[in-house]
Each structure stands twice: as structure tokens, then as C-alpha cells.
């Protein structure tokens, strides 16, 4: 499929827009185009009720649906960078508390959650909820309270106008807005594994990350965990302690390169954990859209196929914090943003901190700039945790707004 066509399909899926996709040249596609007199139209054609859009792209669909508009105001009480679960939650609570709120995302709302076919461990949804659907509802809720969503627009930089002055935020369409308080919630990029059929099995036996809740559901099952960092080690132990039989696949030749010694010790002693060094996942097997087994191969080319119930990819990620050094925002040695108490050394705020008070919880080393969600040092990498942090920020910012004398 043409890359642009794939992008459009991905866009419709991740915006939780119900649609039918007919491949060019298929009988259904030809019939539909003929019925509408569009046989000569440039593909792809998007048909939405009475309207049709030829040579449709993500951008042209956004415009047709009323998007791609500039920000309505010049100044906001609160600007949120990133419309993932953390950013959207912050927007819902800040807007519902009466703050003028703008949320910018360089992509669609939902962040990584928009890639999750089914989020099964989110509070209040016993049957699970699609990640894209959750994001669509949260976006609608934020807008319902008066927040503005600026989509497919990245924030590229800022302009400091003095410590107690609104900060200027540079948007990638060339415009600029100012904000009294800002939340950075740009998330992380999960490292992805390139394997045939993997994307189709995400949520149906293959998962990025593994929390305790997943472990509880896998009691007595056979699972594979890919990865060699501490999060992979913790996941392996969680599974095995819940009586799952775990095969741990590690590309490197030893665990000690990337994992803490106490985890290695426990993993090596556990009778239900089989550690395979210098071994990589090479194939996924499925039936009726669900995972049934895997093949993995060692560095000598010896391969093995096994029936398994789940594959958990704990191969890490990269936080979106490349902008932090130029914005004087402190990060840890893995690139995650430090906030609140984590900024203090021997009880003292960093030298660059200009105020008498310490940074508030979730406030970064730059006064009035908060961070929440996956991008934050110590975050849990879960939708519920991101939503919780975003909601907390929406209440913490009132202290900063009071310092600035902002009335609302």
C-alpha cells in the first residue's frame, strides 16, 4: 500500500472514526465509484455522507472536518503540549475549573494510547476500551468544558519574556501564543520491533510493556518477554510469581549489561523462568487473529518454535526531551524530565531555580513549566498513571497562577 494511503487509514483508525476501506480495483470499490460517478477521480477517494474528497490526504481530511485552524486566542492561562492521556486529562480538569486552555499535539489526540486496540486495565471499563475511543471521548470532554484542541501542530520552542511574564510558545505553523502556565506531556516513543504480522497482533496476544495486572491474568500460562532492562526483569518476575512459565529472550550475551543485580539474582533462582541469551524473536504464529506461538533463534541460527499465550515487548523507549537542554529543563541520565522533589540535591533546589519556594510536585526546573505522564522521571508508563498526573497538574497550577496574580 502507498505510504500516504497507509497514513490516511492509520489516521481514520486512530481518530476512532468508523469507516470501511475498499482497496483500489476491488469489485466493491469500482461499484461505489461508479454509483457516485467518480470513476475518473484521483485516489484515494473519501466518501463522507453526501460529500466526497478526491486524492484525500490526512491534511485535506482534517481541513474538510473543520481542523487546521489557528489558535483562537493570543494568550491562554494554560497551554498543554501533547494530547496523550496526561495532556487530555489536564485539559479536562483545567478547563472545567474555568481556565482558558489550549492543547497542542503534533499528531492526533491520544498519543501512544491511540495505538492500543484495547486498554483492559483502565479504571471503570471492566470490558476494556479502545485507546483511540478513549482519546476521542476525552478530547470531546475537554472541548465540552471549553478547552481548544490544536491538532497536527507541534510546539517547537519557547520565548521567555521575564520570569513572571507569560511565556511565548512557538507553534510549527509559524504562529505564537502566550501562556501563564505550561504542561509538557510529550510522552515517549516506544522502541518498536519489526516483525511480520506484529502490528495486527498488538492487543491480541502481543503487548508493549507489561504491568502487574497483565501478570495476574497470565497465571499458569506460557509467555515470552523480550528485553533485558529492569522493566523486562521486573515483568518476568511478576509473571513467574503469578505461576506463568516465562521464556525471556535477550539479544545480548548477559543480563548484567542492563539489569540490576538483585533482579538477575531472583531471575536466575526462579524455576519458572527460562533465560535465552543471544536469542531473538523471528516469527509470530497466529490463528483467527490471535497469537498461538512464536519462533526464536539463537546467534548460531538454531531456532525453536513454541506455543505461547502472550508475548510482552519490554524493549524500552526514548522520551521526547531533545528540547530540554535548550529550554533549561533538567533531565535524568536516561533523558526523563525531573520534577518536584527529584530536583532537590541535599534538600536544595538547583542553582538555576530563582524562587524562595521549592519546585511544586510535577513542576520542572523551569518555574511554571510542569511535566506529566511517560516523559517524567519515575512515571509508571500506564494510561491511568498519565491521567492521574495530568489531573494533578491541573490543580497544582493554581498555586503558580496565584503567584502571578492571575485572576480567572
Question: Which CB sits closer to ligand FAD, 121 or 221?
Answer: 121
169 is an interface residue for ligand FAD by CB under 6 A: no
How many other CB atoms sit within 10 Å of the CB of residue 323?
15
End-to-end CA distance of the chain: 51
Size of the site for ligand FAD (CB under 6 A): 37
378: left (phi over 0), alpha (psi -120 to 50) or beta: left
Which span (33-41, 246-254, 348-356, 377-385) binds ligand FAD, by CB under 6 A? 377-385
Which span (51-59, 184-192, 267-275, 360-368) binds ligand FAD, by CB under 6 A? 184-192
202 is an interface residue for ligand FAD by CB under 6 A: yes
- Distance, in Å, from the CA atom of 219 to the CA atom of 223, rounded to the nearest integer, reads 10
Question: Which CB sits closer to ligand FAD, 113 or 248?
Answer: 113
Cis previous bond, 386, omega within 30:
no
The CA-based angle 340-342-344, given to 5 degrees, is: 85
Q: What stretch of H or E contains 129? A: none
Tell the smallest beta-carbon distance from residue 50 to ligand FAD (Å). 32
210 is an interface residue for ligand FAD by CB under 6 A: no
177 is an interface residue for ligand FAD by CB under 6 A: no
CA separation, residue 161 to residues 69, 89, 168, 330 (Å): 26, 28, 7, 20
Tell the smallest beta-carbon distance from residue 316 to ligand FAD (Å). 12
Question: Which CB sits closer to ligand FAD, 207 or 353?
Answer: 207
Phi, psi of 41 (to 5 degrees): -70, 150
121 is an interface residue for ligand FAD by CB under 6 A: yes
105 is an interface residue for ligand FAD by CB under 6 A: yes
Tell the smallest beta-carbon distance from residue 272 to ligand FAD (Å). 24
Pick one of 97, 107, 143, 298: the residue that binds ligand FAD (CB under 6 A). 107
316 is an interface residue for ligand FAD by CB under 6 A: no
Tell the smallest beta-carbon distance from residue 380 to ligand FAD (Å). 8
Residue that has been written with the C-alpha cell 506531556 in this structure? 185
Pick one of 87, 227, 310, 316: the residue that binds ligand FAD (CB under 6 A). 87
Residues that bind ligand FAD (CB under 6 A): 81-87, 104-107, 111-113, 115-116, 119-121, 154-155, 185-188, 190, 202, 208-209, 320, 373-374, 381-384, 386
Amino acid at each position: 500500500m502507498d505510504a500516504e494511503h497507509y497514513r490516511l487509514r492509520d489516521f481514520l483508525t486512530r481518530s476512532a472514526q468508523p469507516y470501511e476501506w475498499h482497496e483500489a480495483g476491488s469489485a466493491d470499490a469500482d461499484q461505489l465509484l461508479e454509483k457516485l460517478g467518480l470513476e475518473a477521480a484521483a485516489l484515494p477517494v473519501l466518501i463522507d455522507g453526501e460529500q466526497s474528497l478526491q486524492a484525500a490526504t490526512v491534511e485535506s481530511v482534517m481541513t474538510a472536518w473543520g481542523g487546521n485552524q489557528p489558535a483562537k486566542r493570543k494568550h491562554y492561562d494554560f497551554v498543554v503540549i501533547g494530547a496523550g492521556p496526561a495532556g487530555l486529562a489536564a485539559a479536562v480538569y483545567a478547563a472545567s475549573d474555568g481556565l482558558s486552555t489550549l492543547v497542542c499535539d503534533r499528531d492526533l489526540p491520544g498519543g501512544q494510547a491511540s495505538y492500543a486496540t484495547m486498554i483492559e486495565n483502565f479504571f471503570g471499563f471492566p470490558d476494556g476500551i479502545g485507546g483511540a475511543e478513549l482519546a476521542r471521548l476525552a478530547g470531546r470532554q475537554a472541548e465540552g468544558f471549553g478547552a481548544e484542541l490544536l491538532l497536527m501542530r507541534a510546539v517547537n520552542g519557547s520565548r521567555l519574556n521575564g520570569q513572571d511574564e507569560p511565556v511565548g510558545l512557538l507553534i510549527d505553523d509559524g504562529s505564537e501564543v502566550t501562556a501563564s502556565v505550561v504542561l509538557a506531556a510529550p510522552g515517549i516513543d516506544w522502541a518498536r520491533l519489526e516483525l511480520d504480522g506484529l502490528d495486527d497482533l498488538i492487543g491480541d496476544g502481543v503487548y508493549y510493556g507489561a504491568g502487574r495486572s497483565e501478570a495476574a491474568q497470565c497465571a499458569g500460562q506460557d509467555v515470552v518477554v523480550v528485553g533485558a532492562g529492569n522493566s523486562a526483569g521486573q515483568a518476568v518476575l511478576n509473571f513467574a510469581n503469578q505461576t506463568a512459565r516465562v521464556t525471556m529472550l535477550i539479544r545480548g550475551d548477559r543480563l548484567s549489561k542492563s539489569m540490576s543485580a538483585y533482579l538477575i539474582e531472583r531471575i536466575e533462582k526462579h524455576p519458572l523462568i527460562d533465560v535465552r541469551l543471544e536469542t531473538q524473536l523471528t516469527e509470530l504464529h497466529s490463528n483467527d487473529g490471535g497469537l498461538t506461538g512464536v519462533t526464536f533463534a539463537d546467534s548460531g541460527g538454531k531456532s525453536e518454535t513454541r506455543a505461547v499465550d502472550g508475548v510482552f515487548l519490554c524493549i524500552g523507549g526514548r522520551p521526547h526531551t531533545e528540547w530540554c537542554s535548550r529550554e533549561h529543563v533538567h533531565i535524568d541520565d536516561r533523558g526523563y524530565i525531573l520534577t518536584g522533589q527529584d530536583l532537590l540535591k541535599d534538600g536544595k533546589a538547583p542553582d538555576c531555580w530563582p524562587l524562595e519556594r521549592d519546585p511544586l510536585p510535577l513542576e520542572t526546573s523551569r518555574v511554571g513549566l510542569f511535566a506529566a505522564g511517560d516523559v517524567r522521571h519515575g512515571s509508571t508508563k500506564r494510561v491511568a498513571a498519565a491521567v492521574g498526573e495530568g489531573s494533578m497538574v491541573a490543580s497544582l497550577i493554581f498555586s503558580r497562577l496565584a503567584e502571578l496574580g492571575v485572576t480567572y
